[in-house]
Amino acid sequence: MRKKIVAGNWKCNTTVPAGVELAKAVVAAVNASGDPEVEVVVCPPFVHLTSVAAEVTGSRVRTGAQNCAAEPKGAFTGEVSAEMVKSAGAEYVILGHSERREYYGETSATLNKKLAQAFAQGLTPVYCCGEPLPVREAGSQNEFVKKQLDETIFLLPEADFRKLVIAYEPIWAIGTGKTASAAQAQEMHSFIRGAIADKYGRKVADEISILYGGSCKSSNAKELFANPDVDGGLIGGASLDPANFLGIVNGFKG
């Protein structure tokens, strides 16, 4: 049975005190009425991690980081290692987000090093993939995403591959208010699962959680999550509103 996961990516938002209050509100909402079958994760900025992890301890909410360094330690000013992330209380780490690729020039080679660091620390990577609008308009989204997979996570041994989560995020739908239709989301998630089956076998493919990201909110979560290959969401802006986020967490309920 694949794990259902809803993860909130807070991105570069909230001060530490505001983040702690947001975490408190998310914990209260999830503990009170959140779908018990869904793993809920909050991914605050690095400077919040220790405080937020302490706040969610003992609840049904888990903590993740938004990134980690490609190196284990050393003279890399401004970087945060996977070991630091782990020691701050995180269990998950987002890797390969389109904003990291586009704004900070992260390549597949960089991501392979980051994946190795995450696995070495026992973190669960949430590996992001997805196409920009021109690729979608050209009808080449499958080839684009497959290349992202081939250059990174499809190089992993099966034992490591089984430990990760995939997030499909159509770049044209991130923060734009546009959302892939339920049919478009299912089509890509099914394609990704099929590619996993071709590489690692159907049993492995059926065990990997694939999340949808891209303007997912409480109003459309139920339709998106009704798809057989959509196992949850990686949520951006809507994760900053506890009520909206709870509505997404409950998107699997009938």
Residues with active-site annotation = 97, 169
Q: How far apart are the first and last CA of the chain?
A: 18
Structure tokens at 122: 């026992």
